[in-house]
Amino acid sequence: MKKRFGEETIILFHVADSYECFLGDSRLVSEALGIPQEPYLRESGTTIYVTRFPAKELVEYRRRLTALGYTTCTNETRGGDGRHILKIYEPNESEPDEE
């Protein structure tokens, strides 16, 4: 997704009742929103971190990120077919009040 939408785009993955981001996005979102990173995976001496927040906070957190100048992409998986729905939000772009 980074190749398609730009390396600077923050990718948010919808997982159960939360949104998650990883690697550089995790660090950036953690610093920008004051949400702590958590270790996600430790393998071969490397730790991958995740930043998570409740799905109900998506609109507010995305607004805060776009106000700071970041582009966000939410990855929504729907239905049994596993079809992905991508939504891109860029700075200065209006968005619906509800998800």
pLDDT value of residue 18: 93
- Residue 21 to residues 26, 39, 42, 43, 94, Cα–Cα distance (Å): 5, 12, 16, 18, 22
> What is the helix, strand, coil percentage profile of the chain, to 5?
30, 40, 30
Site of tokens 């939408």: 5
Which of 58-62, 77-81, 95-99 shows the lowest mean pLDDT across its residues?
Answer: 95-99
Average pLDDT of the chain is 82
pLDDT (tens digit per residue) in 42-60? 777 888 999 999 999 999 9
Q: Where do the domains of the chain lie, and which CATH numbers do they carry?
A: 2-89 (3.40.1170.10)
Reduced 3-state DSSP string for 68-92: CCCCEEEEEEECCCCEEEEEEECCC
pLDDT band at 89 (very low <50, low <70, confident <90, very high): low
Q: 87 vs 26, which has greater pLDDT?
A: 26
**For residue 81, which phi and psi values (nearest 5 degrees)?**
-80, -5
pLDDT (tens digit per residue) in 25-42? 999 999 999 999 999 887
pLDDT value of residue 40: 85
